[in-house]
Amino acid sequence: MAGSQTVFLSGEAQWEAARAASMDRILLAVQESGWTLGEFLKILFTVPQTQKEKGNPPRHAQMVSVFLQGRLAIKAQDIVELMYSSRYSAPLSVRKSANREASAVRRPDPKVMANWCLREWAISKAEAVVNKEAEELALRSTGFHLDDKTATWDFILNFSMESVLSTLHLKSPTLLRLLKAAAVPVKSSMRASGLSAVPLPTSPTPNTSNYPMPSEPHETVYNLSEHFSNPPPSGSGHNRHDPLVIIAVACMLLLSARNSHVTMFQKMVGVWLFAHTAPHGIYSVLGRVGLSVSYTTVLKLLGALSDSAKNSTRRSAQSRAFLLIYDNINRMARAWDPDLGQKDKIHNGTAATYVELADCDVEKAFDVGCLRQAQQEERRKKLSLDVLYKRIDWEKLNLCVTTHILRILVQHVDGLAKHRDFVQLRFRTTLAIHRMRAGRQTSLHPLATSDYNEGNTAENAKVLDDLILNQLKMGKDDVTKYMVIVGGDQSTVEKLRTLKRLVASCPHGYPQYGWVLPLIQLWHMGWADLERVLSTHWGKSTGDDLSSLRAANVLLGRKVKDQKRPDYYPALHLVFDNLDAEVLDCWRFPSQFPCHNNRPSAAGKGKVDGKAKAKAKAKPLDPAVIPSVSDMDSFLAQAGGSLRKRKTRPEPVYDKPRTSPPRATGDHRDSHPDYFDASSDRINDDGVGPSSDDQFLSPKEKTRKEAIDMTPATKRLERMNVHSGTDEGDTFI
């Protein structure tokens, strides 16, 4: 072993000696040519101008081109890194000794050495690259110029930091990298800083020499979609700001300082300040530091956005598939320092909304002739309680009510959580009557407000003229061809009906307002019904009736009041919470499913005499034998069957939504014929029975309920003061 080690060291020493001898001959040849090392390198890498000077020899040109093109294992940046980090490229550090101080030693000027010069050279090159990238970012094509002429609300609402950073990463990777180096410390990990970074894979570089080569830097690619899809950190204290957002804001500020037309981000901030009614001085302060534009610029932008929204709404109104909703708005103008004759004033106005109606045939749905014919025939007088009663599908209504009772049970009992999907599926398929198209979203367009008081009958005519003629720019003759649904609260609808009666004798079409179809909106109808429910079931003020809403309001600690117009959502929550409690209270008692406490054991099965059975039937149930969670689970499993085996009613097949009147040769939208002919809502006429979603089928295999799933349900029932009905054999963890 010792002999082999000596041979290895001798061979390495011979290689080192040969390398030193070759280097000495090369350097000696450079000196004999009268060149210094710097002059030799300059001549080596100098490329003569084409067609003006004689080119380098073929060997010279070939070796230099192969090296500079990166086709060798050792790259150009490796050589520069060795020069930059060499011990000879910067002054050596001096230590204090017994004879002298470290500051007394005269050291060479570092500004003429390679370390300083290479750093300055790299900074100048980076400065040139950043300047070129910033010049490209400041162009109009990047989208950072938000001109008033091209501004739209879609652009404002779809603005995101993700799109800004994507543009920065594509157009200016160097600037983004430098700002990231300033914002994120090197020692902090990417995960701690909130960044999701993936390094680009780099091929390993073979090292042919025995000297360590500098590692190649790799570019970092950020998954912006995944990063911004995560919610921001919540909690109090120690929540760091998102470095990527700060970097994007810094870039926007720097570009605005470079080019005054780059004001997209500043205008976004200005619109946000206007929406929050910020004082005028805030615009001046933030505009001074470049975070916002002036108040006047914001007003001009809002005016341009208003014009853009008006044009979009007017184009949509040409289809005639829309409805209008408007209501009054009140604003108090206080006299903070009232003088003689001054007092607080209330300004009344009207705010309206344009709602697009999808999936409807305009010629049939808004036919004025059908409405007038029904009014002339006085069909409304034939609408009686018996007619309405017969129109109701009581079988489906009973199914809806029973399914809602099951929903309340599975919603509040965690042990029955696995049945929630089935209950929701039943609502979406079997019990659904008028289904909307999948993925359908209603488009809304807020209209301009006016100073007309819709509480006055005469003012409603001015409101309609302003909405139809001024804002939607529709002609009077075109308006009268189809009906226009106008929605609002009960007061607005009553004023519109009064207006139509007053001007019914007008000979002209438009001033008759016969094309107006007033409809009370469902929210206002629900508010009125909620008020009546609250008033009917509130109870006496001096009673102890626990079944009243007044008692539930006190027990639940709510602040609902029995008044003319109660607060909608608090009152609604009180009614529904009381309903859930009442239904859960009913679930305490035995239902149609058996309780396994009454089941005979396997050993004594079939040996119970008739007297014991009669005695068991006559004796009331003990609270201990109230159905347990496992009994309810078994019942729902029998009732629901296997969820995977159920067949759901097919959804209607729609063509593309059409809002404009159909052409004579155009297509029309029809539902799939099977949707009506073979729906699971009724028994088919072809002899095929209903699907398993409409009748209770027992599954082939019953899953046994684990004890751990019953623990949350028991705790929930205890908090609700509902008897859990647990069995003696049930164990809880």
SS3 state of residue 654? coil
Residue at 483: amino acid letter: M
- Of 583, 582, 354, give the one whose Cα is nearest residue 447: 354
CA distance 174 to 126: 8
pLDDT for 326: 94
**Do the bridges between strand 345-356 and strand 444-446 make them parallel or antiparallel, or are there none, so unpaired?**
antiparallel
- For 383-389, which contacts have Cβ atoms below 8 Å and span 24 or more sequence positions? none
What is the mean pLDDT, run by run of 10 residues, along the chain of 733 residues? 50 83 91 91 85 78 90 91 90 76 76 91 94 92 88 89 89 90 74 41 38 43 70 68 88 93 94 93 93 94 92 91 92 82 86 92 88 86 90 92 92 89 90 84 91 90 94 91 92 93 83 91 91 90 78 89 89 92 82 43 43 47 51 59 44 43 39 35 37 35 37 40 37 33
C-alpha of 180 from chain center = 27
- Of 270, 311, 287, give the one whose Cα is nearest residue 149: 311
C-alpha of 209 from chain center = 55
pLDDT for 94: 72
Which secondary-structure segment (H or E) carries 348?
A: strand 345-356
693 DSSP assignment = T
pLDDT for 653: 44
SS3 state of residue 114? helix
Longest Cα pair distance anywhere in the chain, in angstroms?
129
C-alpha of 663 from chain center = 38
What is the phi/psi pair of residue 144, to 5°? Answer: -85, 0
- Of 43, 297, 258, 319, give the one whose Cα is nearest residue 132: 258
Q: Nearest-5° angle of CA 164, CA 167, CA 173? A: 115
pLDDT for 633: 64
- Of 401, 423, 400, 396, give the one whose Cα is nearest residue 410: 423
SS3 state of residue 632? helix
What is the phi/psi pair of residue 487, to 5°? Answer: -110, 160
- Locate the DSSP E strands across 204-321: 220-222
**Beta carbons within 8 Å of 705's beta carbon, 6+ residues apart:** 415, 629, 630, 633, 634
pLDDT for 398: 93
CA distance 546 to 549: 8
CA distance 244 to 224: 9
- Of 304, 312, 271, 350, give the one whose Cα is nearest residue 443: 312
Contact by Cβ (8 Å): 284, 443 = no
- Of 674, 671, 694, give the one whose Cα is nearest residue 686: 674
Helix (H) and strand (E) counts in the chain: 28, 7
Q: Look up the pTM and report it.
A: 0.65
518 DSSP assignment = E
| Tokens, residue 619 | 């004796």
Contact by Cβ (8 Å): 447, 352 = yes
CA distance 142 to 145: 8
- For 468-477, which contacts have Cβ atoms below 8 Å and span 24 or more sequence positions? 471/310, 471/313, 471/314, 471/447, 472/313, 472/314, 472/317, 472/354, 473/314, 473/317, 474/317, 476/509, 476/510, 477/509, 477/510
488 DSSP assignment = E
**Beta carbons within 8 Å of 6's beta carbon, 6+ residues apart:** none
Which string of b and e fits 703-726 if b means at least 16 CB within 10 Å?
Answer: eebeeebbbebbebbeeeebbbbb
pLDDT for 499: 93
